Amino acid sequence: MKWFTATTWCWNCNIQAYGKRVSYMSYFYILLAFLHSRRYNCFMNKEARQISRLGIMGGTFDPIHFGHLVTAEGARYEYKLDKVIFIPTGQPPHKQNIKRTEPWSRFEMTRLAVATNPFFEISPLEIERPGPSYTIDTVQEIARLFPGTQIYFITGADAVSEILIWKKVEQILSICRFIAATRPGYKLGETWKKIDELPQDLKKNILCMEVPALAISSTGIRQRVREGRPIKYLLPESVEEYITSNNIYQD
C-alpha cells in the first residue's frame, strides 16, 4: 500500500477493527502513516476534521519564494482559512516539455519554506500520483478527505485568467473557490475583464485579493543562480541553503 493511501486511511479515521480483531497489518499501516506525517508535517490529525475553510496553494515551486508565501498568508488572513496546504505539482500539465527540477527536490524546498508557519502544511499528493498533475484530480481528492469543508484554490491573477483552459474547469469551480491574487506587472482590470466573460455560475466562485507587490518569480531566481547573482531576501534562507548545497539551477 502506498504512503498516501495509508495516510488517507488515517485522516478519515477509517481504521476499523472487524469485531475485536485488529490485524497486525493495521498496526503496520498506522505506523507508516504516523512516520509519514512526522516527516512531511502533513495534515493527519484530529484537527483535520475540524477544518471548515481550507486553502490549497498549488504550484510548480521551482523554487518556492516569498511571492508564493506572501500570497498564501494573505489569502489565509483575508478569507479566514484554517489551513493552507501547499501541493507541489508532480508533472505540471502546462509545463510538460519544460525542464524542471526533480519533484522531491521541489517538495523539499517547499517543506522547508512552510515549516515556520503553523497554518501552512504540505502534501505530496500530486507527486505521488502518477501522470500529469491535474488540479481537478487534486480538488476532488481533497474534497473527499475533507467532506463539508469549503476549499479555496489560491493562484496568482495571471494563472486565474488561464484556468479556462484547465482540465474540467467547470467541475473544479463547482467543488472549490478560486482566490486570485494580484501579481506585480499584471493589470487587475484585464483579469477582471476575463473573469467577467465567464458564465455567472462559474464567476461567483472566483474571488480577488490584493497582495503587496512582490516582483519575484521562480524564473528570475533560477536565472540569478545561473549568473551567480544573489537570491538572498527573495526566498527563505533555508531554501537558499538547499539550493546552494545541492547545486540546483547551476546549468
Q: Is 120 helix (H, G, I), strand (E, B) or coil?
A: strand
Residue ranges in 179-198 that form contacts with ligand DND under rule CB under 6 A: 181, 183
Is residue 166 involved in binding ligand DND (CB under 6 A)?
yes
| φ, ψ of residue 168 in degrees (nearest 5) | 50, 50
What is the CB neighbour count within 10 angstroms for residue 48? 20
Of the CA atoms within 13 Å of residue 217, those in its CB half-sphere come to: 10
Interaction of residue 110 with ligand DND, rule CB under 6 A: no
Q: Which stretch binds ligand DND (CB under 6 A): 18-26, 42-50, 128-136, 220-228?
A: 128-136
Q: Does residue 155 touch ligand DND according to CB under 6 A?
A: yes
DSSP characters over 213-251? -----HHHHHHHHHHT---BTTB-HHHHHHHHHTTTT--
Q: Which residue is nearest to ligand DND (CB)?
A: 156
Q: Which of 10, 68, 161, 249 contacts ligand DND by CB under 6 A?
A: 68
Binding to ligand DND (CB under 6 A): which residues in 27-66? Answer: 58-61
**Residues 101, 13: Cα–Cα separation, whole Å:** 35
How many residues make contact with ligand DND (CB under 6 A)? 29
Cα–Cα dist 139/170, whole Å:
12
CB atoms within 10 A of CB 68: 24
**C-beta of 155 vs 191, nearer to ligand DND:** 155
Is residue 156 involved in binding ligand DND (CB under 6 A)?
A: yes
Which residue intervals of 53-183 are DSSP H helices? 66-78, 103-114, 125-128, 135-145, 157-160, 169-175
Alpha carbon 197 to its chain centroid, in Å, reads 27
Q: Is 207 in the site for ligand DND (CB under 6 A)?
A: no
Q: Which is nearer to ligand DND, 94 or 203 (CB)?
A: 94
Nearer Cβ to ligand DND (32/68): 68
Q: How far is the CB of 1 from ligand DND (least distance, A)?
A: 25
| 67 touching ligand DND, by CB under 6 A | yes
Task: State yes or no: residue 149 binds ligand DND (CB under 6 A).
Answer: no
Chain residues binding ligand DND by CB under 6 A are 58-61, 67-68, 71, 89, 92-95, 133-136, 155-156, 158-159, 166-167, 181, 183, 211, 214, 216-218
